Structure 1
Amino acid sequence: MDIFRHTFGNNDESFIRIPGAFREEPPADLDGRTEDQNNNTNEPAQDRGGRSKSVLHFLFQAPLIVLYYLLNFIVRSSRLLKPLLRLHGFYQRKHNRLLDHSSQLHRLLENLENEAQAVTCSEANGSTDDGSNSESTSNNQNSGVQFSFGSLYNPENGTFSKSIMQNSYTELLDACSAQVKFGVIYLHDPLLDNHMDYVNKILCSEAFVNMIRKYQVLLWYGDVTTSEGLQVSNALKIRQYPLLGIISLKAEKKIELIARVEGSISNYTTQDLETIFSKNYPRLIQLRQQRQNIEMQRLIRQQQDSRYQDSLRRDQQRDSERLEQTRRDQRELEHQRTENQWLLWRKSQLKPEPSPGKDASKVAIRLENGQRLVRKFDASLPTEEIYAFIELQLHGLLNSEDDDPPVDRPANYQHQYGFKLITPVPRREIGLSTTISDVSGIYPSGNIVMERLDE
């Protein structure tokens, strides 16, 4: 509220700022007139001066008032957007933390390749300015730089990028354990003044490349400014950077750091590195042979188990087939026994030929073997009587003269005839439940042809 009073209130000295204060009397002049009387005298001039002063006061303070409200609006808006910005920053940091190891490795290799090219170009420019190209070439040879970093470690077409470079430190440990190979760890520190010395004079040297190829070494490069590089540095208890370390499988699934070169490049010698590789390589060969023997024994046991399982499966299959065949034979015997019982029962139920004078149908039946049968049937019987007569004839039960003992009808059995009867003209199949007298092709007489059903 003070800013409003300061901006829009009058500037009269009689403005009371403190509640309860007394208004001071204006001082009197020498003539005995008060200041109010003098003011009445000079009122027109003071009014004009006050108005011009108020206009100037407003013109100067109006931009400040607008700026004040604009800044106030910006501050309040920023307070409202602050949670959103904080949320966005959280997910951005989370995204950076969740970058995969492959992306981190590619980023490191690309940075090292660019810096190596920059160093090479600067050295070339320096040698050109000095006019000593031959001296620069001899210095490069003495430093051991025979390969460019990009030709060896480029993520897309480098020599060591696909088959040797590992994305993460954990993958390096797993690969060294599974393949029984050496592993080389290089921790790069971009904050050092001479951080490219290891890259150009060791990692790109012909001696180092030949050792990598000779001993089939797996590589992993990391940056100590990243979380993974710092974790590896703490795990290996590194005191100086850069680091060039060699890990090897000492026992079954136990990997140790067998050598390390820390700090200045003067601590590195190619001969010491070659000695470390050649000294520990026979141990790796022995572990590989042990792995191969164990794997061979496992394969032999697996083949034996497979053959045993195949033999057992065949035996079980034969036993199952034998059991199934036995069950089929039993079902067949049971079916045959039930069918014979039904045939004997049906024979006892077969009606004899009707006597002369009764309503009968004379039917001539031609069997599938060409045999011709002629018999009379009661016209009031169903055509199933003809089917039963032919079924008994086919089984030879009608030719036997012995009297069979009475047999009961088997329970839960429905006989299925394996043939059908057809009247030739017109060709029509005769059903089982039709009355004989209702079939015009056989009543009062007719011919029937027997045909086997397709199974």
Structure 2
Amino acid sequence: MADAEVAIAQLTADQQLALEQFTAVTNQEIKDAIPILRRCQWNVQIAIARFFDGEPAEDPVAAAANTPTPQDSRRQETLVNGFTSSSRSSSSSRRRIDPAPRVVPQPESQVATQAPLILSLLFAPFSLVYSLLSKYFRFIGYLFPFIPRTWGRLTASSINTPTARRNTSGRRPLNPRDTAARFIREFEEEYGSNNLPFFEGGYGQAFDLAKKDLKFLLVVLVSPEHDETASFIRETLLSQEVVDFLRNPENNMILWAGNVQDSEAYQVSSALTCTKFPFACLIVHTPQVSSTAMGVATRITGPTPPAQFVSKLRQSMQAHIEPLSRVRAQRAEQQASRNIRQAQDSAYERSLAQDRERARKKREEAERKAREEKEALEREQAKERYAQNLAQWRKWRAASLPSEPGPEEKDVVRISLRMPNADRVIRKFAADADIEELYAFVECYDILQSDELNEKVREPGNFVHEYKFQLVSPMPREVYELKAGGTIKERIGRSGNLIVERTDLESDDEGEE
């Protein structure tokens, strides 16, 4: 793991991006993916193609130069070389594994053929004239739409005549999945219902699935024109022994079959060097050759009895079970390590999220306390400013109050006030004095009794005074509100007994509650 981290640290940004794309598609380990990308000059597309198609273990040119001339293994056994030659050929066949290519058929509609250069130059004037005429007639058909319809009705009868009818005896080209479904349907129509586990997909999909899941891929190719096809299918492929062997989950077998009359099956037969029908080929992952290579374990050609067919498959599988088991164990270990890393990353993310949540709550709590302290400080400062403005206003208003009328004044009003501290105060006011003057007297009574009256104080700016008491007559109870206005004589009369009731006590009690 440390070596992989060091190797990643030494890569450039483009190489790291290519590595990330390659591992996301192929699910390869980093230590196995970096050598493949280096051999492909860090080209992701070429590396992915080599991963799925398999890459040679050595240089193809050097391998071709060092490979000896192939000998025909299909020779008759004699009493002299029957046992020795067969044993040597079987051992050499076990050592040598032919690569199994991955075939992805190209739709026939997308196959484009290019004419030779000389013919292209000779037919260039005709092509130009044809293009101009086709555009001209298309424009005429656009201007006069009835002409194409009339021409179509006139030529419909000639098209449907037997002499001009197209040859529809050929097989219609389909995509790989539909081609596999058509083969399975025709197989059941010809040989009846069966229990063969056919893979319902293309050869490339079955190839990739066998490589990914480390399974054996059995490819069966048949030709309806061959005389021994029907007998091979009925006697060998549909035998209970072969069916049970293919359906046994312990064998890890994927069965793909095709008709060579289809394009895909024909390309597969050419890639697997099929020389005789019926043909069966066992493909398996070959980790001893390359970490991504798929090889041909065995080929079975011609009519083969069921017991011999199963025996050949089982013998070929035995030679590859141990390497596949090691690769499965390695992949399981890699997957377990990946799961552990994912669990660790998940736990780290959860712990990080919890730390962030705690930090967020702590920060919000600190902000809330700071905000409350600021608000409390602002309230205290507001109270202090209000108290200063109130004291200044009371001094200013006490200095602006007219003095009490003398004995010579006849038009006066005599008011008896009971203060909140239970003191009785009697004072005369001018009859035409506003009732606000009576309220101001009560508000500034303690200032009028002290020596602070001699101080010259200005009215505080931006201060709106509010009287926090009201004057009430006891019997009958009547409240002389300030907002009603009027003079003292109009509101109270020539004399009156009034009680000073505080109005701010109720609000203070509610705030304490």
Query: In terms of Rg, which structure is larger?
Result: 1
Q: TM-score, normalised by structure 2?
A: 0.44
Q: TM-score, normalised by structure 1?
A: 0.49
- Which structure carries more relative contact order (alpha carbon 8 Å, separation 6+)? 2
